[in-house]
Amino acid sequence: MPLDAANYRAGLIETGILLLLLLLAFGAITIMARQRWLALGVTESLLARLAAATLVASAAVGGLSGIVLSLVQGSAFADTTLSPTASRNQAVLGIGLGLAITIVGIIRIEQYHRRFVNPPAPEEDADWKVEPPEIAGRR
């Protein structure tokens, strides 16, 4: 395998590990320090949790990527016919897909966190809501 193709493949693996660790760290920080985030505003809380998760994931990916790369050495780098262009395209596609999944995961965690922080009022989720007579008469 050409050196460029191997570097693209290693970058794809390391980025996938980083995005997975980012999602896990964001969820863990959100759950563990839930009461502390209530003191901050919504935007400040989200930015602080994202910054902390990025810091934790960046520190953890350094050690973990070496282990994973040595474990998948045979299967990930065995294809000798892979061109650097094809390898780059695979890496870009894989990183884009991983980034999209990570963003969706962070949005879902944030939605659950906000639902926990601000539970709906009892009358908002009632099934028996009655429309005012002036609205009901127009139908």
Write the pLDDT tens digit of every residue in 59-97. Answer: 988 888 778 777 777 766 667 777 888 888 888 999 999
Total structural domains within the chain = 1
Write the pLDDT tens digit of every residue in 1-24. Answer: 677 888 888 888 889 889 999 999
Residue ranges in the chain assigned as alpha helix (H): 3-32, 34-37, 42-71, 73-76, 84-117, 133-136
Domain of 110 in residue numbering reads as 3-136
| Rounded CA separation 84/81 (Å) | 10
